[in-house]
């Protein structure tokens, strides 16, 4: 009996799962490796952070996705390195995993661009742990201000969001609605209107990757919700109780959300391969790594030529299509067929600002704003969620929130203490290792 080729997929994010799903019915053995035993639907993490959804709504057990596939295996482990010459994936405290073909979809981590204090004190939003940590922190700040209202003047209820892309816009809008529509009733003993939400963007407008009118619409929608938008402004340094902006302005705050960009994780830095912008691994047009034809990189860890001299963006759709393409090239190699170049199909970009307010730029030149874009955004995210249970749960949560303005998971879950982001008279949750294995 012939031994089936062994394909190892590093990362159970969008790219990794897309690759594994494409291979699940083929004559290969597949091992998916991730440090978490679940897939995270990252586009909705901001809703977990702002008490709109539960963690289980945006997470799905990897083993559950492949429980009927006897040729797909899962290994919960931290990848520490790859021996490209010996074809082995090195794991922390576990034996190495050999491979015949390797698909690396190890994701990204927050890029703070060397700004003093940002790595230690900012709140990134790329994992479930980070979303829960931010939710804990936001609610705890309001609890602290309720107990001692004088703390409001010290910036306890000032929230600074850095980055005017889709994530920053969505976080700022969701925070504004959480404060105005939910906390105003929850904390009726506190004047929540003294809180501030400041969105800082270094560029001259929001949503730079969108049509200019979409960015203008997003700014107006945020400002109607009370968000202070600062474009053409950068963060120079971060301290425990304040942020210094370019030009010397000081914002007193105990909560800085970082949505200003990502970089490849530690795994990319450890490999002896060429790297491009953000430390991403440079790949051929077929997504293979130069010098290692049986190794492919997809998703946020890959630096992919868009065919016109630019680079493809770090988007879920790029990861999904890239994962499928890499899997196809593995099969082509096994079947001794010529490989094909990767061609990304742009399906458009979307961002939501809040209830009945969103923007959608579609590749056919259609620009949607307001209610139509918001409904399209809701439908698309329901469709792409993994698992029927998750879709039903998210739909029910959204419907309940729309009808009642009530957000369910307003819980402070703080299993450990972390002193570096102090809340007056309370503790804070620990920061997790940013080196991820998901794309």
> By C-alpha distance, which of 84, 83, 29, 33 is closest to 63?
33
Q: Distance between CA 253 and CA 50 in Å, rounded?
A: 18
Q: Distance between CA 348 and CA 431 in Å, rounded?
A: 34
Q: What are phi and psi of 394, to 5 degrees?
A: -65, -40
Q: Distance between CA 350 and CA 357 in Å, rounded?
A: 11
Count CA within 13 A, CB hemisphere, residue 399.
8
Kindly report the length of the chain.
439
> By C-alpha distance, which of 141, 1, 137, 4 is closest to 70?
4
Per-residue tokens: 282 = 């440079």
Q: What are phi and psi of 2, to 5 degrees?
A: -70, 145
Q: Answer yes or no: are the C-beta atoms of 5 and 335 closer than 8 Å.
A: no
Residue-by-residue DSSP string for 257-308: EE-S-EEE-HHHHHSSS-B-GGGPEE--TTSEETTEEEEEE-GGGEE-B-SS
Q: Distance between CA 280 and CA 54 in Å, rounded?
A: 32
Annotated active-site residue 223? The verdict is no
**Which of the following is catalytic: 26, 129, 154, 170?**
170
Count CA within 13 A, CB hemisphere, residue 177.
25
Classify 162 as helix, strand or coil.
strand
Per-residue tokens: 296 = 């492919």
Q: Distance between CA 230 and CA 50 in Å, rounded?
A: 22
DSSP code, position 155: T
Q: Distance between CA 207 and CA 304 in Å, rounded?
A: 22
> By C-alpha distance, which of 151, 265, 163 is closest to 209?
163
Residues 6+ apart with CB under 8 A from 429: 132, 133, 136, 137, 414, 415, 416, 417, 418
Q: Answer yes or no: are the C-beta atoms of 125 and 46 closer than 8 Å.
A: yes
Q: Distance between CA 46 and CA 64 in Å, rounded?
A: 24
Q: Which residues are catalytic?
A: 170
């Amino acid at each position: 009996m012939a031994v089936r080729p062994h394909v190892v997929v590093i990362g159970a994010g969008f790219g990794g799962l897309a690759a594994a799903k494409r291979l699940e019915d083929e004559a290969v053995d597949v091992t998916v490796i991730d440090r978490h035993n679940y897939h995270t639907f990252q586009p909705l993490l901001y809703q977990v952070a702002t008490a709109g959804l539960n963690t289980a709504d945006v997470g799905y057990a990897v083993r559950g996705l492949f429980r009927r596939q006897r040729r797909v295996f899962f290994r919960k482990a931290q990848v520490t390195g790859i021996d490209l010459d010996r074809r082995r994936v090195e794991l922390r405290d576990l034996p190495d995993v050999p491979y015949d073909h390797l698909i690396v979809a190890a994701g990204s981590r927050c890029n703070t661009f060397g700004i003093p204090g940002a790595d230690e004190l900012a709140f990134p939003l790329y994992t479930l742990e980070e979303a829960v940590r931010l939710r804990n922190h936001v609610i705890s700040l309001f609890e602290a201000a309720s107990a001692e209202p004088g703390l409001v003047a010290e910036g306890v209820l000032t929230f600074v969001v850095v980055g005017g892309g889709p994530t920053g816009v969505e976080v700022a809008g969701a925070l504004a609605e959480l404060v105005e529509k939910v906390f105003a009733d929850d904390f009726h003993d506190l004047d929540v209107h003294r809180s501030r939400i400041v969105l800082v963007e270094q560029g001259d407008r929001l949503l730079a990757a969108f049509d200019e009118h979409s960015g203008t619409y997003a700014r107006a929608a945020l400002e109607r919700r009370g968000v202070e938008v600062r474009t053409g402004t950068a963060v120079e340094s971060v301290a425990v109780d304040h942020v210094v902006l370019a030009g010397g302005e000081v914002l007193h705050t105990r909560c800085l959300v970082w949505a200003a960009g990502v970089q490849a994780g530690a795994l990319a830095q450890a490999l002896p391969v060429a790297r491009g912008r953000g430390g991403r691994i440079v790949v051929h047009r077929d997504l293979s790594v130069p010098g290692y034809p049986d190794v492919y990189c997809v998703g946020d860890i890959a630096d992919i030529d868009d065919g016109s001299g630019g680079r493809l963006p770090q988007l879920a759709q790029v990861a999904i299509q890239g994962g499928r393409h890499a899997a196809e090239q593995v099969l082509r190699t096994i079947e001794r067929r010529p490989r094909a170049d990767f061609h990304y199909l742009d399906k458009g970009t979307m961002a939501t600002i809040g209830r009945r307010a969103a923007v959608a730029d579609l590749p056919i030149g259609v620009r949607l704003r307001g209610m139509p874009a918001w409904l399209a955004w809701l439908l698309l995210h329901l469709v792409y969620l993994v698992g029927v249970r998750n879709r039903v749960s998210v739909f029910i949560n959204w419907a309940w929130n729309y009808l009642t303005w009530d957000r369910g998971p307003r819980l402070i879950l703080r299993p450990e203490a972390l002193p570096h982001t102090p809340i007056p008279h309370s503790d804070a949750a620990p920061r997790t290792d940013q080196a991820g294995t998901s794309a």
